[in-house]
Structure 1
Amino acid sequence: MAAEYVRRLLRAPRQSFFLFGPRGSGKSTWVREELPRAHRIDLLDEALYQSYLTQPALFADELRALPAGATVCVDEIQRLPSLLNEVHRFIEERRLRFVLCGSSARKLKQQGTNLLAGRALRRGLHPFVPAELGDAFDLETALGFGSLPIIWQAPSRTDALVAYAQMYLREEIQAEALVRNLPGFARFLPIAALFHAQTLNTASLARDAGVARTTVNGYLEIIEDTLLAFRLQAYEGRLRVREKRHPKLYWVDAGIVRALRRHLAPPSVEERGPLFEGWVANLLRIHNDYHELFDEWYYWAPAEAGRTEVDLLLTRGRESLAIEVKSAAKVGPEALRGLRAIAALPRLARRVLVHPGPRPLVTADKIEVWPVGRLLRALAERTLWP
């Protein structure tokens, strides 16, 4: 029996657009439900893919048979970037509207997305967020198994996650020939998963994976281009010559992290900190992608502050907003140290600590302590900024 459709926050633009999202994020389902009259071309259909690969003119012939102004969805467009030449032409000549779905931006970035500059927007589809799941959302499930639709709606989430990790290597990496050394990349993945919500040390990562540091840099680009991870840069408040701080690495879903680590038992106390921080970071990233809540974001760890850090620093115009994330239900003075250190930052609109506690609080020095529900309400009502 098919899972009931969960209405997503993403709304379809009127013009052509790329729709990127990791495998299993529900792109095909979203198109089928939100754009039911779209003409669909699925490049995962091997026979169709081979026919376009050997006879590219067939793609144009199929488009020519559609009425002017029709909507066309091309699934897995990254498999044949050369089709973008015809997409460009049919947008101009026939006013066709294209939805170009992909689970990787790598080949498109290398071979032709620029052909559609100004003619196609970019949108993203992500793991489920609480605003989409409503009463079905459960934080413990999200931290233990993630919230990718393909996993969330599976009969056995454990089995689905194991299969997902194998599918990623087989279909996204090996089949598309993205790396020369597949065993090296396979060794890299679980080690990189250990750096989730941590400052990235590429030298250490390279040593543990048994590959060159330059190779690790290439692997990091691949997991970013295949939409499984992203790097968050350190905030540089003063323009001066100094050693640049390493970025932090975040995977886009807790389930992916745990599947790559091959650890799917209930999360340990040690795991909960990075998993919860990563969940909050991704929640902000997803809502920003859908609703443009901030302009840029960073983590804050100035050299002069020693080991003091604030997990997330959002900027909007000339204002900034600091967010610290703690997985403990009780908050002590040590948890507030970073937010107190950042208080001197100019034009700091708000300081917030997010944790899974029972009720909101405000300290004497105006640090707001938010339980998860308070953060979710601020995102839903778009009141993150005061």
Structure 2
Amino acid sequence: MERYLDHVVRRDLQHKMVFLTGPRQVGKTTLSQQLVAELGGQYLNHDVAQDRNLIVNQRWNPRAPLLVLDEIHKMRDWKAWLKGVYDGKPPAQQLLVTGSARLDTFRQGGESLAGRFFGWRLHPLSVREWCTQTGASPDAALTHLLERGGFPEPCLADSQEQAERWRRQYFDGLVRDDVLEFSRIQEVNAIRLFAQLLRQRVGSPLSLASIARDLGVAPTTLKKYLDILEALYIVFVVRPWHDNIARAVLQTPKVYFFDTGLVEGDDGIRFENLVATALLKHVQWQHDAQGREVQLHYIRTKDGAEVDFAISEKNQLTHLIECKLGDDRPHRALKRFAEQHPRTAAVQVVRDLRHSFETQGIEIRRADEWLVALDA
């Protein structure tokens, strides 16, 4: 399966080293191995003992047109090591570094890699990408992704049962194996329970203090656990928008899962999570491909008025987005914020809607048509 980043990674490899990150099993290895097959080269995974020996001793083929190094952030002082590899490699050799954890999380090395790489984040399949891959209609693609989530294996599985078996193993493996990169073995069960609780709190402002009381741990401990789940691309955090950035960071976040199939909730919550993943992919594509300073937020006031999502660029609101399953009446809070920010596009995305239309300055859009038009 050709992914939406194939062509840009191939292009950027001609100029610099490329970092490709994203959730485990989102397709990084497949993309890398397809490039190796196309360009010729060598793929080495630090998690594999034999490959790890070759990596540590730098005994790969120096004439390989493309060298792929996977999971090397697990090495001590990997940044300084990688800087030396990049600076000393043959001029014609291309270098691709992949990982299932956020490489900007790791601080083992003091050496800077600035100016030596392009960074890309690979996301699960979106409505747009599934339509491109399969020729499905936008409505069929949206229905499929709501049922299966956006990861390639469950999307392509022959049955829903196979998809659910994959998901159970995937979730258990993430918590059991990957969390140990960041935490002590004694904390794995606590993080597993915390992650399980988050599956039931998608889309709601997250009170770590309340959950901490339920679990009998300190809120600072849960904050560390949330950072771990973020770093491993299991969840992502959407923070409230405020024109004062410091205040926005301190306010209550909302949490969503990269895999919509992990969400435990009604159809409305699953739909909101899918829209969140699509918007994050859209925003990060604009950041990675175009260098734009775009961010994803939500809006909530002290009197309880809330809009599901907002997009800002250079700290200026550009879009307001509200998700609804079937309600085509303009959402009260969306109308309120649209009036306060008249230069901001206000959209109510409706899952079950016969026709898109505009009223009172708000676009009421069919979800399938709107999602397929996003950038990635």
**Residue 78 (structure 1) aligned with residue 78 (structure 2):** no
Deviates more, 1:336-345 or 1:216-225: 336-345
CA deviation string 1:251-284 (max 9, x = no partner): 11211334xxxxxxxxxxx522221111111101
Query: How much has 1:194 moved relative to structure 2?
Result: 1.6
For residues 237 and 203 of structure 1, the distance between their equivalents in structure 2, rounded to whole angstroms, comes to 25
**Residue 197 (structure 1) aligned with residue 203 (structure 2):** yes
- In structure 1, the partner of 2:299 is 300
Query: How much has 1:313 moved relative to structure 2?
Result: 1.3
- In structure 2, the partner of 1:111 is 108
For residues 218 and 251 of structure 1, the distance between their equivalents in structure 2, rounded to whole angstroms, comes to 17
**Residue 143 (structure 1) aligned with residue 150 (structure 2):** no
For residues 90 and 239 of structure 1, the distance between their equivalents in structure 2, rounded to whole angstroms, comes to 38
- In structure 2, the partner of 1:26 is 27
Query: How much has 1:80 moved relative to structure 2?
Result: 1.9
- In structure 1, the partner of 2:126 is 129
Pairing partner for 1:160 from 155, 166, 184: 166
Q: 1:144 to 1:243 in 2, by over 3 A?
A: closer
For residues 355 and 100 of structure 1, the distance between their equivalents in structure 2, rounded to whole angstroms, comes to 39
Query: How much has 1:172 moved relative to structure 2?
Result: 0.9
For residues 177 and 83 of structure 1, the distance between their equivalents in structure 2, rounded to whole angstroms, comes to 16
For residues 163 and 208 of structure 1, the distance between their equivalents in structure 2, rounded to whole angstroms, comes to 27
For residues 353 and 35 of structure 1, the distance between their equivalents in structure 2, rounded to whole angstroms, comes to 43
Q: How does 1:196-345 map to 2 (within 5 A)?
A: 196-237=202-243, 244-258=250-264, 271-292=266-287, 295-303=294-302, 306-317=303-314, 318=316, 320-326=318-324, 328-333=325-330, 336-345=331-340
**Residue 186 (structure 1) aligned with residue 183 (structure 2):** no
Q: How many residues were matched structurally?
A: 351
Query: How much has 1:47 moved relative to structure 2?
Result: 3.2
Q: 1:227 to 1:48 in 2, by over 3 A?
A: same
Query: How much has 1:76 moved relative to structure 2?
Result: 1.7
Q: 1:7 to 1:239 in 2, by over 3 A?
A: closer
**Residue 8 (structure 1) aligned with residue 4 (structure 2):** yes
CA deviation string 1:39-66 (max 9, x = no partner): 21122313333x368xx3x12x32xx41
CA deviation string 1:175-200 (max 9, x = no partner): x3623422211211111222212211
Gap runs ≥5 in structure 2: none
For residues 183 and 86 of structure 1, the distance between their equivalents in structure 2, rounded to whole angstroms, comes to 34
Q: 1:81 to 1:22 in 2, by over 3 A?
A: farther
Q: 1:100 to 1:113 in 2, by over 3 A?
A: farther
Q: 1:182 to 1:316 in 2, by over 3 A?
A: closer
**Residue 93 (structure 1) aligned with residue 99 (structure 2):** no
- In structure 2, the partner of 1:266 is none
For residues 240 and 252 of structure 1, the distance between their equivalents in structure 2, rounded to whole angstroms, comes to 26
- In structure 2, the partner of 1:263 is none
TM-score (norm 1): 0.82
For residues 231 and 305 of structure 2, the distance between their equivalents in structure 1, rounded to whole angstroms, comes to 31
**Is this contact kept in 1: 2:176–2:188, CA < 8 A?**
no
**Is this contact kept in 1: 2:311–2:319, CA < 8 A?**
yes
Q: 1:242 to 1:289 in 2, by over 3 A?
A: closer
For residues 358 and 374 of structure 2, the distance between their equivalents in structure 1, rounded to whole angstroms, comes to 19
Q: Which amino acid aligns with 2:257?
A: W
Deviates more, 1:180-189 or 1:91-100: 91-100
**Is this contact kept in 2: 1:145–1:255, CA < 8 A?**
yes
Task: Indicate the SS of the match to 2:112.
Answer: helix
For residues 66 and 247 of structure 2, the distance between their equivalents in structure 1, rounded to whole angstroms, comes to 51
CA deviation string 1:266-323 (max 9, x = no partner): xxxx5222211111111011122224476123211122xx111111111235452111
TM-score (norm 2): 0.84
Gap runs ≥5 in structure 1: 259-269
Pairing partner for 2:354 from 347, 354, 358: 358
**Residue 41 (structure 1) aligned with residue 44 (structure 2):** yes
For residues 354 and 111 of structure 2, the distance between their equivalents in structure 1, rounded to whole angstroms, comes to 49
Task: Indicate the SS of the match to 2:25.
Answer: coil
